[in-house]
Amino acid sequence: MDLHNVRVDIPEGANVIIGQSHFIKTVEDIFEAIVTTNPQMRFGIAFNEASQERLIRHDGNDEALRKCAVQNARAIGAGHLFVVVMRDGFPITVLPRIREVQEVVRIFCATANPLEVIVIQTDQGRGVVGVVDGESPDGVENDEQIAARKSLLRKIGYKR
């Protein structure tokens, strides 16, 4: 058994969602979940098959983001893994719909932060143990920072 980390490529201004699913129709169903929730979002999806042909299935409405999703899925190499790379929208808007996709069993992360996926390699293949999303905390917010956080959420329309 070997444990190692894979750095995820997240293009400037993009976000990524990484999860686990269990069926070949994952790519089409996640595509539909995204475009019916946020039609202007630009994205690419990749899904690593874990049996049969064991191909990286892919789709999207932005060629560069589709290629990035495939590159990340290939680098991680775990079966039944999916990667969504997106722009012109935020994961928070599409995550509820992606979670409703019948074959999705887990979401590991949704982020624009620097990201590493912790991968285990066995004789059978690879699996995701977890993720390192961003950096460790550097302190506790003060009253001024609490007010700034609350103001930002209202400014961008997530709170009233």
- pTM of the prediction? 0.93
Question: Do residues 71 and 9 touch, judged by C-beta distance below 8 A?
Answer: yes
The H or E element containing residue 154 is helix 143-155
Q: Is residue 33 very low, low, confident or very high in pLDDT (cuts 50, 70, 90)?
A: very high
Distance CA 120, CA 138 (A): 29
pLDDT of residue 74: 98
Q: Where are the beta strands (DSSP E) in 40-87?
A: 42-48, 56-60, 81-87
pLDDT recorded at residue 80: 96
Question: Can you give the pLDDT at residue 121?
Answer: 96
- CATH topology (fold) of 2-155: hypothetical protein tt1634 (3.40.1520)
* pLDDT tens-digit map of 59-97: 999 999 999 999 999 999 999 999 999 999 999 999 999
Q: What pLDDT, on the 0 to 100 scale, is given for residue 157?
A: 85
Name the residue ranges covered by the structural domains of the chain.
2-155
